[in-house]
Structure formats: structure tokens, C-alpha cells
Amino acid sequence: MRHRDLIDAFYRAYNAGQAEAAVALYAGDGCHVEAASGQARQGHEALLKGLRGFLGMLDGLRFEIARPVRAGAKVVVPYVMHGVMTRDLGAMQARGQIIALHGVHLFEIADGRIVQTTDFWDIDEFKAQVAA
């Protein structure tokens, strides 16, 4: 699968809330890293568990992406993530808060599969939005 087709399929799956379809785009030992928290999930089972949790956290999830920039096997995709929080986060009363969070995904691709995604977003911006 071409890089752009793979990335388009990734965001279609996210926007449709289809965790299984998104995870199927990763290599078997593929990895997702949250740069803000340092957490990583590797392998389809861990990716699926994490993505289901993420998708369940936001109603109306939609990624609005800007033009991807490719350098060999790596592709950077700026985005704005939109959604409404479905639950509180610990002591933070986030339920019902509207989110419009800017971020960037870094994709590493090999043999038509995602080897790794790294997600960069501003945790302070997120906290300010859910505390509003």
C-alpha cells in the first residue's frame, strides 16, 4: 500500500471509530508512542486495547488533517483532533468538554505497513480544554 493510501486509511478508521481497521494497518509488532506521556503500546493486541480505550473517551471523534510531509519511510501529519469527552479523567471533570487539540503524528512505514506512530500533542493545551 502506498504511503498516502495507508495514512488516508488510518484516519478513515479513526474517524469511523473502527479500532480493528486502524490496527490492521500496523505491522504485527507495530508500535504507538504517546510523546506527551511516554507511554508505548506494541503489537496488535496492545494497540487494539489502547485504541479502544481512546475511541471510547471521545464522542464524535474527528481528525482534520493538513497536508502530510514525507521523507523516505517517515511521514509527518499535522492534525486537529475534535471530539466531546465522554468521561471524567480522575479528579478532572472532563465529561462533556469539547476538544479541539492540535497535534502531529509521525508515521514510520515499511513494506506497506505502519511500523510505528508517534503522537505529539500539548498536554497543557489538553488540560486547559478539559478544565474549561
3-state SS of 47-90? HHHHHHHHHCCEEEEEEEECCCEEECCEEEEEEEEEEEECCCEC
Cell of residue 44, nine digits: 496488535
Phi/psi for 89 (5° steps) reads -115, 95
91 pLDDT higher than 90? no
Q: Predicted confidence band at 90 (pLDDT cuts at 50, 70, 90)?
A: confident
Q: Which residues contact 1 (CB under 8 A, 6 or more apart)?
A: 9, 112, 113
Q: Is the pTM of this model over 0.95?
A: no
Q: Mean pLDDT over residues 19-48, rounded?
A: 96
The domain that holds 67 is classified in CATH as 3.10.450.50
Q: Predicted confidence band at 132 (pLDDT cuts at 50, 70, 90)?
A: confident
| Domain with 9 in it | 3-130
Q: What would the pLDDT profile of 110-127 be if each residue is shown by its tens digit? A: 999 999 999 999 999 998
Domain count, the chain: 1
Q: Which residues contact 62 (CB under 8 A, 6 or more apart)?
A: 15, 81, 82, 83
5 pLDDT higher than 80? yes
Cα-trace Rg, the chain: 14
Provide, rounded to the nearest whole percent, the portion of the chain with pLDDT above 90: 86
Phi/psi for 54 (5° steps) reads -65, -50
Phi/psi for 100 (5° steps) reads -140, 85
